[in-house]
Amino acid sequence: MGYGFAVAAAMRKPSLLSMRADQSSALDLSSNLTGGYVSRSKKDFVFIVNPKGANGRTGREWKKLLPYLRTRLAGHCNICEYITSGPSHGVDITREAIREGADAVVAVGGDGTLHEVINGFFREGQPVTALEGGPVHSTALGLIPLGTGSDFARTFSWRNDPYEAIERIRKGFRSKLDVGTITADTGEQHFFINVADIHLSAKAGFYASKFKRFGNLCYVLGSLRAFIGHENRNLKVKINDGEWEVFEKVTAICIGNAKYFGGGMKITPTADPSNGSLEVVILQDFKWYDFVLKLHKLYSGSHLSEKNVCLRSVKSIEVVEEMCKGDIYVQSDGEHLGYLPTKCSILPGAIEFFC
């Protein structure tokens, strides 16, 4: 997935600051923009809305939510609403908003939208900073979870309730969150906030994205499809830049900054997005019937006691195939990234988050 094109597209658009200076011309110039900055004395919050999230439910809910949002936050901040026009657009808008000095960028949608916003906080591996104020000016991250799975929100025991999310933003309590970095097979660096994973689960996620119209059932359908042609493989793993270790018959490797993926599966139950480490769960030699028999354990997070499940707490992890075939799937935050090899590491406390 390349985000570069979106940046180029943004550069041809008027800046967000010019939108703030002249709300009406901004409305004329961008059909996607339906709100605008209105006052420099208040904080500027940019809401990035994926209208296609949760099979279109995000867009429909957002229309109903906006009047309430304006009522609750109008005295508190300027509201700039941006509707994404397609995949990767959220990355581009976030970068532009941060450069223009936005005080917060709020992802409205599922984990895919949140993932794009997280990636917008960085460019070429470095944090994006405001043009004025530089690194001193910090832009906070917010989330209104309105996706199919919305798994990141589950770590905080949040419901998919946008009204509760608006209250969290209004209260303004922030805490620092870690961000994971992951390299694609192209060598390009990406960022993730929730879970990155490798092999069967990543293949399941790839197919689940094709079944989103079925709601949470997409993860079951994706998993069934992923089993076709699946084989457990020997993988080489290097933890914290140490020695290479071979893990035999690996079914999946899940690298958690947070706890849940796949629509509520508590895959990395010991993960904490503020503890400065990634929790790695390696499933080995799982057969299809193990998933039937142990599925409830994966959902409750009690699978760590199984003999073919191993847990490591790491700062970095590198994974390659023992016999290179180039067909082992890699995803981060439920978004397909490519295939092995990959390397993940942690950026402690990289983002301030409304929670």
For binding to ligand ATP (CB under 6 A), which residues are involved?
Answer: 50-54, 84-87, 89, 109-113, 116, 147-150, 212, 334-335
Q: How far is the CB of 3 from ligand ATP (least distance, A)?
A: 10
DSSP label of 194:
S
CA dist., res. 214 & res. 316, Å (int): 36
* Cβ closest to ligand ATP, residue 181 vs residue 194: 194
The gap from C-alpha 266 to its chain's centroid, in whole angstroms, comes to 16
Q: Indicate the Cα dihedral angle 268, 154, 330, 213, nearest 10°.
A: 140
- Burial annotation 108-146 (CB, 10 A radius, 16+ → b, else e): bbbbbbbbbbbbbbbbeeeebbbeeeeeeeebbbbbbbb
Residue 317 CB-half CA count within 13 A: 25
> Are 254 and 195 in contact, with CB atoms under 8 Å apart?
yes
178 is catalytic: no
Residue 101 or 112: which CB sits closer to ligand ATP?
Answer: 112
Q: Which of 36, 68, 66 has the alpha carbon at shortest distance from 51?
A: 66
Cα-Cα-Cα-Cα dihedral sign, residues 222, 225, 227, 229: negative
Which CB, 232 or 332, lies closer to ligand ATP? 332
Q: Please report where in the chains the tokens 């530089």 appear, as a residue.
A: 134
Measured CA to CA, the distance from residue 218 to residue 309 in angstroms comes to 25
Which residue in 330, 204, 179 sits closest to 256, CA to CA? 179
Question: What is d(CA 251, CA 249) in angstroms, rounded to the nearest whole number?
Answer: 6
Spell 303-334 as b/e; 16+ CB within 10 A means b: beeeeebeebebebbbbebeeeeeebbbbbbb
**Token pair belonging to 86:** 């397609």
What is the rounded CA–CA span in Å between residue 66 and residue 50?
14
Q: Which listed residue (111, 178, 197, 333) is catalytic? A: 111
DSSP assignment, residue 15? P
Catalytic residue positions, numbered: 111
